[in-house]
Structure 1
């Protein structure tokens, strides 16, 4: 895939806006990890084709049907384990190191931003590689999950409690620390760069509007249309793994 002339022009415009920003933040969603081999759960080929989220992704299911939930978790954790950061993740990490990204606020649970080198990452929905017991709260080694088989489900702690990933299931609240940190970053941001999210999931989808309401700018990088409407000062409809490195090249 190659960028066309209008996309190149939008990239240059986005870079000019980014250069003027003093406190830029980035909001990412599933789309940034698709080039890494992790399909959007909702898209064709995603995990919701094989698993009903109502059966495997709610806090009630985790408490009442943990074996069924762990069937889904085995698939998800295996997918995350095999994935590597793509050029979009790397570009954001390099921009952070250059002082051009204050923070990455992500809805993803795959840890690829950190793997690429980003340091100030706010995980709205947790991280699938952090595991703990629901009963005794002890942290467990995520490497053990890779060695488990379907016969081991659900994963039980030595105390007999069910092990779970430190992610937000449907029916649970966004972690207070993530909410507080993202709110603090949003309040001082003068630019929000939206990457790979259509803006369908609250409360993360309110961040761009908060920045715009305070007089900030918005750059959107999405393959398809989103619910952000006309909020974006520049909207680039192209793959983030091509767009973000191109913007970074203009900035550094």
Structure 2
């Protein structure tokens, strides 16, 4: 299985090198190797808490104490986590002109922390904060202290997309446009269960590849499917690209 994964990783890297027009879509599996809990695995957040009771606009309005506790715990859990080598592989590929965009479902900001510039956060950012009522930006310290909005007195929240909310229009539109034009769409660490992001790979006229530790039941929809950790498979690709002169 390892040799098969490595072989497919090198084939994917060959496409990246030849086409120089890759869009990468990342999900929770890209961040778990940095120590960030995911959502749908046996140890994930949603196994412990029903998301529809907490990650919603209604929770902000009607059960703010629980909402605030959940997100402040997530922020505390992130404080000791850092980007891993796989994040830096993507940064290097972007710098050498191989990758045009990283569209991510992750809200941790690790891609930007690793130095990536062309990133679209499809589910927002847990590292930025705003008033739920008037939308005015706020500092992290204000949210953590459970302060009210300085502008209108409303409740502060992370700038993430909650269940039932629309995706950021600019991020979604740009991701769609670049996926449609891509020669390769590489999906890394996502189960492709969340709509509408799970529709993105089907928009490309180019090749598609997926890396995931667990079965997603969508592998047959991809030209290349690699089972393994995001970091390890990306490092296989990076070694190939370095040997190829990139």
TM > 0.5 fold call:
yes
Residue 186 of structure 2 is aligned to residue 193 of structure 1? yes
2:213 paired residue number: 223
Unaligned runs of 5+ in 2: none
2:60 to 59, 62, 81: 62
Aligned residue in 2 for 1:142: 140
Counterpart in the other structure of 1:4: 2
CA distance in 1, matches of 2:158, 2:34: 21
Confirm or deny that 1:247 pairs with 2:237.
Answer: yes
CA distance in 1 between counterparts of 2:212 and 2:83 reads 18
- By how many angstroms is 1:188 displaced? 1.2
CA distance 1:59–1:227, shift in 2 (3 Å): farther
Shift of 1:4: 2.6
User: Does the 8 A contact of 2:33 with 2:84 survive in 1?
Assistant: yes
Please give the alpha-carbon distance, in whole angstroms, between the structure 2 residues aligned to 1:190 and 1:56.
39
Give the whole-Å Cα distance in 2 for the aligned partners of 1:49 and 1:75: 16
Q: CA RMSD in A?
A: 1.6
Question: Distance in 2 between the 1:39 and 1:25 partners?
Answer: 25
- The one of 147, 150, 167 equivalent to 2:160 is 167
What's the CA shift for 1:117? 0.9
Gaps in structure 1 of 5+ consecutive residues: none
Which secondary structure does the structure 1 equivalent of 2:33 belong to?
Answer: helix
* Equivalent residue runs for 1:1-252 within 5 Å: 4-145=2-143, 148=144, 152=145, 154-158=146-150, 159-211=152-204, 214=205, 216-251=206-241, 252=246
Q: How far does residue 155 in structure 1 lie from its aligned partner after superposition?
A: 4.1
- Aligned partners of 2:33 and 2:172: how far apart in 1? 27
Contact 2:210 2:219 survives alignment (8 Å):
no
SS of equivalent residue, structure 2 residue 42:
coil
Residue-pair matches, total: 241
Name which of structure 1's ranges 241-250 and 28-37 shifts more when overlaid on structure 2.
241-250
Q: Per-residue CA shift, 1:134-155, capped at 9, x if unaligned?
A: 234321222455xx4xxx5x44
